[in-house]
Structure 1
Amino acid sequence: MTQRILVTGATGTVGRHVTALLAESGAEVRALARRPAALPPAVEGVPADLSAPGSLRAAVEGVEAVFLVWPFASAEGLETVLAAVAGHARRVVYLSSAAVRDHERQAEELIERSGMEWTFLRPHAFAANALRWAERIRAGQAVREPYGRAAMALVHERDIAAVAVRALTRDGHAGAVHELTGPHSLTQTEQAHVLGEVIGHSVRWEEASPDEARRGMLARGWPAAAVDGVLRAQAAMTAGPARVTTTVEEVTGRAARTFRSWVSEHADAFRPAARLSDLG
């Protein structure tokens, strides 16, 4: 029987792939969006806002499972949302993180008490985080950041989505905590090298001081607590290779995608635009 599944964050980095994969699988997909968005033809878009639980009534009506992205830095309000969801759905898959920050830990605890079958996804660093370097690389500038020796097992967003779809549509994942990584540990310097190899232009790494990086992030409007948390995490990652899990392959039957494959798919985001002189 066709399942009806609600996807929150349906246009986000992971959610858009969850939406597409579910639609391909034949599930009846309902995508929650605060504003109109481009969705696959078979997907039903429902306007709603997680910060206004009353708006969720139509979105949760008749759904059997929910892919939950909680986009706030606090778990405040989540309990009310879960109560609305639990009145219909029997299963929830929550996109947490390997860091399990305070609000994510609180969210997991609330979900455990919701009465629904739950699965937690705890991905490590996203391969897509490399896009923060794209503007500098396109301009031919060096990537200038601290902790070039920080090692990460970067995970492709489509692999996270594939695991989510298995947990949403198949039994055997209730109570599971899936820690997700890519197949290799790469330092930030090595990531820059891979980017250069794939796009055919050398990408230089320049080591910045943590203080310089902190000033830059604060100037861009980052909260001080978030800045300090990022820098602490990166410093810890210099201790050695990143932990690599085989969860993606165990759950999906397919080996996790490499960072190189992710770069190949997104190479145009990093390649310098053609100059008029290059076009003859």
Structure 2
Amino acid sequence: MEIAVNLLVVLEMVGVNLSVMHTCGTRKYSGRRIAAVFLLFTAGLVGGSYVLLSRGSQFGNGNGLFSVLGFLYLIPIRLLYRESLPRILSIMCSSWVYTMLIFVFSVHFSSLFSEAGFALRVLLVQTGLYAGTVWFFFRWVKGGLLFLLHHMNGGLDKILLAVSVGWYAAAILLNLTFLYPKALILRLVTLCVLTGIAAMSYLLIYRLVKSCRNETQLQEIAYTDHLTGLRNRAGLFLDANTLMEKKTPFSLVFMDLNRFKSIND
């Protein structure tokens, strides 16, 4: 019974992660064929990993190390979707951060009670958290994550990948740190990973702000007359269209300056 419950916990996480990949990825084949491949691969992976992990004494204690095997899904995903490997990793790690944090919270909340029925409590808490948050998460995936993936360039996509992988590793390490509080090396590694994520996050913010500033400067050059500092013809049409779309009343003032052409030349 406990084995089946542990497998259901894993399958819930796998289902959410694959759904995110299916939402963000460009498919090569039909949805039915992709679903069939994922079902067969999941059956083999879950069955094989259970045989290996169940031999250890730490299986089923909530350490979450089984999630590392999720990287094996790169094999079918790479074959089923028209996406580059870095883009696939960005999508998968963004989803794994969400599912791993849900799992970690479920494990440590369930550990507040008696050991009896631990696996079932983890499953119930995890299912409840998914029920309350998965709609909002997929809303962000369709609006926020897809927007980032489509518009990040100039090295920003690589920083996003590094941050996503870092947060995924941090979620696993934090969970292990809670489970094994006496492991000093584990705490030091976790601290190093969090420090690296903080540095990469500030770098990402810096690159985004710099990119926005460059875009603002280009807009000023495109829509401003350098000599007078006033809006040029393109800027006039842009402002007028914006005001008309907002149905905002406005006025136009026309001035004719004699012999201004010689100054402009």
Give TM-score, length-normalised by structure 2. Answer: 0.28
Q: Which has the larger radius of gyration?
A: 2
Q: Quick check: which one's helix share is greater?
A: 2
Q: Quick check: which one's strand share is greater?
A: 1
* Structure with greater contact order relative to length (CA < 8 Å, sep ≥ 6): 2
Give TM-score, length-normalised by structure 1. Answer: 0.27
